[in-house]
């Protein structure tokens, strides 16, 4: 991960000789999870990217983003009830090629696509059980106690709408090309939809 961040920094420095624009973005993300069968996690992302323009319309934008997501799933039986809560956090480094074109003087559409290198810094589960009036709980680190792997490489793309070269609304989708499960019995590829807003400066 340190080498990847160093590469992103080098690309940003090289962009100093070309037209460049930084942005700060936040938004919603809903990654799938290997242990959650009926729905995705829900979370937020925040981060920076640095769009290096090679021409008026074409550029490449490396960035660094943090993501936090969680989800609770409940079940009820004849003897009691249970709830499992999953929480994950990631650091992601997207490198997106982008092409923009103006629809009006202050309004532009941006199409983007590229890879994202992602590393999970936390993946924890907490179980709360109540049987015959007796309560108990347990916690675990999925990276330490299961075959779940923290490293992921995703490919994806999306569309963004820029206003006055200052504000951006974006929608995209990423799909993981690595099997996050080290077990031979089951494979898992993480995917997620993301949508958000950004300030361009």
Asked whether residue 191 is assigned to any structural domain, the reply reads: yes
pTM: 0.84
CA 88 to CA 69: how far, in whole Å? 5
Q: What is the mean pLDDT of the chain?
A: 89
Q: Is residue 170 part of a domain?
A: yes
CB atoms within 10 A of CB 23: 21
Q: What is the pLDDT of residue 18?
A: 58
Q: How many domains does the chain have?
A: 1
Other CB atoms within 10 A of residue 162 CB: 20
Residue 95 lies in a domain: yes
pLDDT tops 90 at residue 79: no
- Identify the H or E element spanning 200: strand 191-200
Task: Read off the DSSP letter of residue 37.
Answer: S
| Cβ pair 42, 30 in contact under 8 A | yes
Express each pLDDT in 153-190 by its tens digit. Answer: 999 999 999 999 999 999 999 999 999 998 877 888 99
Indicate whether 129 belongs to any domain: no
C-alpha to C-alpha distance for 152 and 133, rounded to whole angstroms: 42
| Residues spanned by the domain of 165 | 2-70+90-123+150-200
What CATH number is associated with residue 21?
2.40.160
Q: Any idea which residue has 């609304």 for tokens?
A: 169
Kindly state whether residue 163 falls inside one of the protein's structural domains.
Answer: yes
- pLDDT band, very low/low/confident/very high, at 16 (cuts 50, 70, 90): very low
Identify the CA nearest to 115 among candidates 2, 4, 3. Answer: 4
Residue 77 lies in a domain: no
Query: Which structure tokens are listed for 133?
Result: 């009036």
83-123: per-residue pLDDT in tens?
889 999 999 999 999 999 999 999 999 999 999 999 999 99
């Amino acid at each position: 991960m340190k080498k990847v961040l160093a590469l992103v920094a080098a690309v940003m420095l090289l962009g100093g000789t070309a037209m460049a624009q930084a942005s700060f973005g936040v938004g919603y993300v809903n990654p799938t999870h290997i242990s959650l069968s009926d729905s995705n996690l829900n979370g937020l992302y925040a981060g920076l990217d640095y769009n290096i323009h090679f021409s008026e319309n074409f550029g490449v934008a490396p960035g660094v983003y943090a993501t936090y997501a969680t989800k609770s799933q409940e079940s009820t039986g004849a003897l009691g009830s249970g709830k499992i809560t999953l929480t994950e956090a990631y650091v992601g480094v997207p490198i997106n090629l982008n092409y923009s074109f103006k629809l009006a003087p202050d309004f532009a559409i941006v199409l983007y696509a590229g890879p994202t290198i992602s590393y999970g810094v936390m993946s924890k589960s907490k179980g709360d059980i109540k049987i015959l009036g007796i309560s108990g709980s347990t916690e675990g680190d999925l990276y330490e106690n299961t075959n779940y792997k923290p490293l992921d490489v995703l490919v994806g793309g999306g569309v963004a709408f820029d206003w006055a070269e200052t504000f951006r609304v974006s929608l995209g989708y990423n799909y993981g090309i690595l099997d996050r499960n080290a077990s031979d019995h089951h494979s898992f590829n993480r995917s997620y939809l993301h949508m958000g807003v950004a300030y361009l400066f």
